Amino acid sequence: MKRIIIADDSATARMFIRRCLEIIGLGDAEIVEAEHGKEALAAAKEKPTDLLLTDLNMPVMDGETLVKWVKSSPKLCDLPIVVITSAGNPAKEAQLLELGAHQVINKPVSPPVMLAALEQFIKE
């Protein structure tokens, strides 16, 4: 069973992402919800994880810092990260990809967009 962490300070956003995952066929994955980057990082260290979906704009630790931490950790650096944000544009997206994020999706997220972003991940 795949393990997926969703990091977003909004319960509404986490619920939308969870629903999208269910619709695209990842409903049986173990979903771990985190309210900020620090919580997500702790969850990723706790157990092997297959995918990290994170917002950018969060209290305590934002998504950009989370990407930096994960990519600089020898244990976690291979963890695929998809950033789901309302604060993305091509310049920000390029910055995040350079930091090590695998994909950047803009909010509001929809199942077709999520499916396109996670197609490769679902196949594996």
Binding site for another protein (CB under 8 A): 9-13, 15-16, 57-59, 85-92, 95, 106-108, 110
Residue count (the chain): 124
Min separation Cβ 73 and another protein, Å: 26
Min separation Cβ 57 and another protein, Å: 6
Distances (CA, A) of 79 to 12, 49, 51, 68, 72: 25, 7, 6, 12, 11
Min separation Cβ 39 and another protein, Å: 16
Surface-to-core class of residue 119, CB atoms within 10 Å of its CB (0-12 exposed, 13-18 middle, 19+ buried): exposed
Min separation Cβ 25 and another protein, Å: 21
d(CA 112, CA 94): 22
d(CA 35, CA 58): 8
d(CA 101, CA 71): 9
- Closer to another protein at the Cβ: 12 or 74? 12
- Closer to another protein at the Cβ: 110 or 120? 110
- Closer to another protein at the Cβ: 79 or 114? 114
- Closer to another protein at the Cβ: 60 or 122? 60
